[in-house]
């Protein structure tokens, strides 16, 4: 039986990976909560790997948040993410684990790169300043996987891979008023505005920025698809210095149109007010997913359907907010 350690199994990405793998009787999933294992502690991580017979690793653990959280806690975002990925990747190597999958982020690409964003755009220009510390940490994780492959891939037969997901949403999302991403933030805002019969909802930025969004179950399916590709197929669309693969929906939407769509799904009948004094972030951010699609994967859940499912999930979680 294959033993796979899912780091960050309680988070949105990790939970989706667990849902996809839990029915496979040939796999034993190994998980630890934050209270059981501090992934920022090298000592704890090394002891955990040394005492568990692990075959494969999927790193879904990360400290994440929206523009507000990234701006307020930059030190936390860069330090915690660097420690998590460095500890797990090196512990995997010294424990002779052959296969590992790391989740990067589309925000790691330069702010003003060409659209849609190709994998070889990484490190070709300045980052968006509002999430630079988080992005730098994610770039480091991608390059850690790449560097271990380049140095030890042949001699130790390791295969450490990285994927670059676009903006994610769906089951298990974070609906915190200040620290959430755009879709869960808007879902909560419009729901509360509807319940309280408000006349309008305030939205950060001009509404003109465009974003690509991928439902979390599609992300999990795509990530496992990449993880299980043969070395031949994976190598056919990567190189020694561009070894990661984008995962995205393949289309984008303006924040204004997104807000209108969410308000309709929730049934809010008031108006929208855009706060131009608040930052938009990057104006365009869509992934070029042609590499992954060339190998046969494409998303299944539309944005409209995904938001409907997300709103149902939000309503179920109201007592825990």
Q: Read off the pLDDT of residues 232-278 as tens digits, 9 standing for 90 and up.
A: 999 999 999 999 999 999 999 999 999 999 999 999 999 999 998 88
Residue reference for tokens 């879709």: 183
Answer for the pair 8, 59: CB distance below 8 angstroms, yes or no. yes
**Facing residues of 210 across strands?**
254
DSSP assignments along 107-123, one per residue: GGS-TT--SSBPGGGTT
The answer, yes or no, to whether residue 181 has pLDDT greater than 90, is no
| Mean pLDDT calculated for residue range 80-90 | 98
Answer for the pair 256, 208: CB distance below 8 angstroms, yes or no. yes
Among 166, 217, 190, CA closest to 15: 217
Residues 233 and 220: their CA atoms lie apart, in Å, by: 19
What confidence category does residue 56 fall into, taking pLDDT thresholds of 50, 70 and 90?
Answer: very high
What confidence category does residue 179 fall into, taking pLDDT thresholds of 50, 70 and 90?
Answer: low
Q: Read off the pLDDT of residues 102-128 as tens digits, 9 standing for 90 and up.
A: 999 998 999 889 999 999 999 999 998
| Mean pLDDT calculated for residue range 5-17 | 97
Using CB atoms within 10 A of its CB, is residue 36 exposed (0-12), middle (13-18) or buried (19+)?
exposed
DSSP assignments along 89-110, one per residue: HHHHHHTT--EEEEE--GGGS-
Residues 133 and 60: their CA atoms lie apart, in Å, by: 18
At residue 321, the pLDDT reads 61
Please give the helix or strand (H or E) that residue 169 lies within, else none: strand 167-169
Q: Read off the pLDDT of residues 298-314 as tens digits, 9 standing for 90 and up.
A: 999 999 999 999 999 99
The answer, yes or no, to whether residue 69 has pLDDT greater than 90, is no
Q: Read off the pLDDT of residues 126-178 as tens digits, 9 standing for 90 and up.
A: 998 888 999 999 999 999 999 999 999 999 999 999 999 999 999 999 887 76
* Domain 2-320 class in CATH: alpha beta
Sketch the domain layout of the chain as residue ranges. Answer: 2-320
pTM (two decimals): 0.93
At residue 130, the pLDDT reads 84
The answer, yes or no, to whether residue 67 has pLDDT greater than 80, is no
Q: What angle do CA 218, 237, 221 make, to 5 degrees?
A: 15
Answer for the pair 120, 242: CB distance below 8 angstroms, yes or no. yes
Residues 4 and 58: their CA atoms lie apart, in Å, by: 7
The answer, yes or no, to whether residue 68 has pLDDT greater than 90, is no
3-state helix, strand, coil in the chain (%, to 5): 45, 15, 40
Catalytic residues: 134
Token pair of 236, please?
């056919």
Q: What angle do CA 90, 93, 94 make, to 5 degrees?
A: 90
Residue 154: C-alpha distances to residues 148, 150, 157, 158 (Å): 10, 8, 5, 7
Q: Read off the pLDDT of residues 202-228 as tens digits, 9 standing for 90 and up.
A: 998 999 999 999 999 999 999 999 999
How far does CA 127 lie from the centroid of its chain?
A: 17
Residues 167 and 175: their CA atoms lie apart, in Å, by: 15
Average pLDDT in the chain:
94
Residues 239 and 210: their CA atoms lie apart, in Å, by: 30
Token pair of 229, please?
């590709």
């Amino acid at each position: 039986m294959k033993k796979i350690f899912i780091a960050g199994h309680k988070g949105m990405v990790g939970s989706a990976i667990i849902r996809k793998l839990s029915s496979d009787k040939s796999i034993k999933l190994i998980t630890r909560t934050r209270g059981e294992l501090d992934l920022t502690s090298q000592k704890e991580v090394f002891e955990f790997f040394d005492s568990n017979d692990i075959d494969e690793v999927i790193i879904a653990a990360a400290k994440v948040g929206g523009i507000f959280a990234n701006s307020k806690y930059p030190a936390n975002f860069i330090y915690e993410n660097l420690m998590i990925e460095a500890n797990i990747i090196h512990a995997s190597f010294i424990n002779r684990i052959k296969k590992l999958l790391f989740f990067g982020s589309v925000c790691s690409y330069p702010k003003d790169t060409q659209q849609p964003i190709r994998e070889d755009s990484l490190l070709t220009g300045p980052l968006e300043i509002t999430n630079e510390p988080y992005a730098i940490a994610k770039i480091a994780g991608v390059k850690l996987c790449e560097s271990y492959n380049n140095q030890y891939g042949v001699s130790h037969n390791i295969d450490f891979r990285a994927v670059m997901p676009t903006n994610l949403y769906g089951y298990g999302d974070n609906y915190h008023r200040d620290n959430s991403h755009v879709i869960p933030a808007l879902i909560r805002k419009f729901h509360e505005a509807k319940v309280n019969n408000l006349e309008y909802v305030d939205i950060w930025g001009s509404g003109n920025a465009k974003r690509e969004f991928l439902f979390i179950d599609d992300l999990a399916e795509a990530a496992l698809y990449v993880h299980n590709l043969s070395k031949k197929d994976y190598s056919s669309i990567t190189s020694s210095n561009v070894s990661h693969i984008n995962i995205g929906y393949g289309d984008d939407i303006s924040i204004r149109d997104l807000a209108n769509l969410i308000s309709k799904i929730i049934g809010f009948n008031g108006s929208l007010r855009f706060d131009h004094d608040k930052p938009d972030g990057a104006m365009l951010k869509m992934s070029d997913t042609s590499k992954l699609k060339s190998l046969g994967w494409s998303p299944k859940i539309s944005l409209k359907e995904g938001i409907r499912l997300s709103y149902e999930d939000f309503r179920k979680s109201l007592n825990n907010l």
